[in-house]
Structures are given as structure tokens and as C-alpha cells.
Amino acid sequence: MPVLAPVDSISIGFPSRRTMLMVTFAAFLLIGVPEGVLGTAWPEIRDSVGRSTSDLGLVLVAYTGGYLLASLLSGHLAERLGLGQALVTAASASMAGGLVFALTGLWAGVLIGAFLMACGSGITDSGLNTYLTLHHDARAMNTAHGLFGVGATLGPLAIEASLRGGASWEIVYIGMSMASAVLVLLYLAHRDIADTSAVPIAAETAEGRDARLLVAALLAVFLFYVATEASVGAWTFSLLTESRGVDDTVGRIFVSAFWAGLTLGRFGLGWLGHHLHLRSLLRLSVVGTGIGVAALSFDPFPGADLLALPVTGLAMAGVFPALVLLTPGWLGSGRTARIVGYQLAASSLGAVGAAAFTRQLVEARGESAIAAALATAAAGLMVTFGVLDRLAPRRRADLAAGAAV
């Protein structure tokens, strides 16, 4: 994959490039939908294939395993096929996976479908994050990640509407597959734009032991950040409804509120973030995440766990986009495509590890143990970010990136 030059996402005057940006936004929204659907649809999916609550962990392992593999290979695939064709392949995999997931009625079909959908998401996410980081400014990055949150927010609501309307959970997954089919057509139409809109620039390098330690710390933060986000999104519904007696509809609404907080926070950064230093924003976000997850996990007063969900989503909003945006300034533009792929792979490892860890706790101690898993992931995020914050150079680029948000 070529190294790409930054281009201002607002000032571009070429309709074709604007169209590609709109397609990118649509793809981020679609990537987010399964994140919000799976946890809230799981009781119905579980019953339809005769599994237990803890088997959600196996689905998450299949999904995040596919995402991990696809993220690691996405750069090689784009180099061999071109970014446009890689995106066509990714959307095709997502389409096929959703249909297998929904229509086979088999446990094996659920696992295979989850894996295929994740492969599509992993290639799309890695390729388009790199594209946004090096072609566009922070406004486009935060908008894209905000649209991911819109998708995740709509997921539980789509399940609720489907079930209340007398339909089944399968309808939602079939709908996601049809949306992926539309993306296939859009990518085919704009394949040449994706491949040729980049302008190569000279590679930059960061040498030595400090750079290696910085990369390791950065990947560890991504691992624990996504472990926390994925765990809250996927397991909280079961914690609330099956351990704490919360009504199913209320549970779905407040899980949606978590994703809504994440979404509104990212859109808000697109308007207000130019007043903030990104390093300061990251510190506040990580501390806020720790406080929010602690309230969710330990429920210090009645309703604290419910109120904590939108607050936690809001606190987490700035972490992922800010870390991706800071990567070129910390490690050089020449390494960005590779490092972004590693970041997303580390994110997948975090989600896989969290799913497996939580599943073991649930099997051993019941749904109440989900709270301990959430607290563990958030503690890991706070510790690893503390290490990263000490290692990362203090650069004026940190402030410049923040000013563009």
C-alpha cells in the first residue's frame, strides 16, 4: 500500500473524491451495526441454535479472530489487488457472512458467518483508517468514527424494533448483508479513485529502542481500549438483565445509550476539539472511562450502572481516533499504514482476550462475574496508557493534530 499524503477533507473540490469520502462514511456506519446488534440479539440467537449464555464468548472469538487475521493481511491484500479491489472483497465477505449467519439455522453457521463478517470489517477498517489518517484531517476521522457509533447505536434499536414488530433477529442480519451488497457496487464504481487518489510522499522513520517501546505501549493501549469497549457493548446487557434483574427493553435502551454517548462524543470533537490538546483529551478520556466502568461494575447506588453507560461511552469517544491521528507524528508517516494495521490487530486481540476471559468467568461464577471482567479491562487501559503517556514524545504535532479535530 503506498504511503499517502494528507489532504484536507473539507476543502477538496473534486466530486469523485468527495463521493469516495461519503462511501467511506457509509462503510464506517455499517461496520458499527454488528457491534451493537450481537450482544442485544444474543438471547434470541442463543435460543434459536440451542446454546448457552456463555457461548456468546465463542461467537466473539470467531468474530474478532477473523478481524485480527484480516487486519494483519489487509496491507498485503491492498498492495496486491489495490485498495479499491480489496474493499470490494471485504464488502463481499461481509455480505456472504451475514447471510450464512442468518439463514443456516446452525451453530456452525453462526460461527462461520461471524468469521466472514469480521474478515470483511477488518479489511475495510484497516484500509479506510489509513486512508483517512493520511488523506484527510481529524474532522473526517472523527466523523467516520462517529458514524461507527451511529451504527452501533442503531443495532440494539433495530433488534428491539424487529422483535416488537413480530419479526426475528435474522431480518436484521439479512438487512446488513443487503447494505454490504450496495457497498460492493459503490466500491466497484469508485475502485479507480481509491487506487489513484493518493499522492506518494517521502517516508519518515523513527529509529531505536525508544520507537520500539513506544510501538509496544501504543499497541497495548489499543488492546485494552478495545477490550473495554467490546466488553461493555457485548456483555453489559447480560449483566443487567440476567444478573441484576433489569427489564430487557430497559437493558437494550441503556446499551444503546452507551453507543450513543460514544457517537455524540466523537461528533462533538469534530466541532469543539480544536480547543483541546489531544494529549490532555486522552488523559481525561482514560480517567473518565475508568470512573464510568467502575460505576457500571460495582453499582454503588441503585441505577448507577445504568447511568454509567452513556457517561462511559462519552468518555471513551476520543481515545481511538486521537491515537490513530497521533501515530504519524510519533512514528513517521512512512510507517503509518503498517502501524495502523498493527493497531487494529492489537484491538482484535484485546476483544478476543476479553471475550475468552469473560466467558470463563461466566461459566465458573455466573453472569455477575461480568462486572469483574469489565473492571479488569478498564484497569489495564489505565495502566498501559500511563506507560504510553510517559514514553510518547512531547511534540508540537500533538497540539496541531488536536487543533484540527
> Which CATH number fits the domain that encloses residue 320?
1.20.1250.20
**Mean per-residue pLDDT, 93-118:** 94
Residue 9, domain member (yes or no): no
Q: Which residues contact 224 (CB under 8 A, 6 or more apart)?
A: 350, 377, 378, 380, 381, 383, 384
CA atoms within 13 A on the CB side of 229: 31
**Mean per-residue pLDDT, 199-217:** 64
40: nearest Cα among 187, 203, 156: 156
**Mean per-residue pLDDT, 288-295:** 96
- Spell out the SS3 assignment of 339-386: HHHHHHHHHHHHHHHHHHHHHHHHHHHCHHHHHHHHHHHHHHHHHHHH
> Following DSSP, what letter does each residue of 20-63 receive, concatenated?
HHHHHHHHHHHHHHHHHHHHHHHHHHHHHHT--GGGHHHHHHHH
Domain extent for 272: 15-404
Report CA torsion sign: 344, 348, 351, 353: negative
**Mean per-residue pLDDT, 147-151:** 83
Distance CA 210, CA 213 (A): 5
pLDDT tens sequence across 308-346: 999 999 999 989 888 888 887 787 766 776 788 889 889
Residues 25/26/30/35 CA torsion (nearest 10 deg): 20
Cell 462519552 -> residue: 314
Q: Please say if the pLDDT value at position 183 is more than 50.
A: yes
More confident residue, 227 or 126: 227
pLDDT band at 132 (very low <50, low <70, confident <90, very high): confident
Q: In this predicted structure, what is the pLDDT of residue 88?
A: 92
Q: Please say if the pLDDT value at position 274 is more than 70.
A: no
Residue 369, domain member (yes or no): yes
**Count: domains in the chain:** 1
Residue 258, domain member (yes or no): yes
Distance CA 26, CA 78 (A): 20
105 torsion bin: left (phi>0), alpha (psi -120 to 50), beta (else): left
Residue 246, domain member (yes or no): yes
Residue 250, domain member (yes or no): yes
Burial (CB < 10 A; 0-12, 13-18, 19+), residue 19, is middle
Cell triple for residue 89? 472483497
**Residues 334, 335, 338, CA angle at the centre, nearest 5°?**
130
Q: Please say if the pLDDT value at position 198 is more than 80.
A: no
Distance CA 22, CA 382 (A): 35
More confident residue, 74 or 380: 380
- Please tell me whether residue 197 adopts helix, strand or coil conformation: coil
207 torsion bin: left (phi>0), alpha (psi -120 to 50), beta (else): beta
Q: Which residues of 166-191 are buried (b: 16+ CB within 10 A; e: fewer)?
A: eebbbbbbeebbebbbebbebbeebb
Distance CA 185, CA 189 (A): 6
Residues in the chain: 405
Cell 480547543 -> residue: 275
Residue 7, domain member (yes or no): no
pTM, 2 dp = 0.74
Considering only 13-22, 138-147, 317-326, which range has the smallest mean pLDDT? 13-22
Q: Please say if the pLDDT value at position 105 is more than 80.
A: yes
Q: What is the DSSP letter of 196?
A: H
Residue 131, domain member (yes or no): yes
Distance CA 157, CA 163 (A): 10
Cα–Cα separations (whole angstroms), residue 12 to 5, 7, 273 = 13, 8, 21
Q: Please say if the pLDDT value at position 251 is more than 60.
A: yes
- Please tell me whether residue 205 adopts helix, strand or coil conformation: coil
Cβ atoms of 142 and 122 within 8 Å: the answer is no
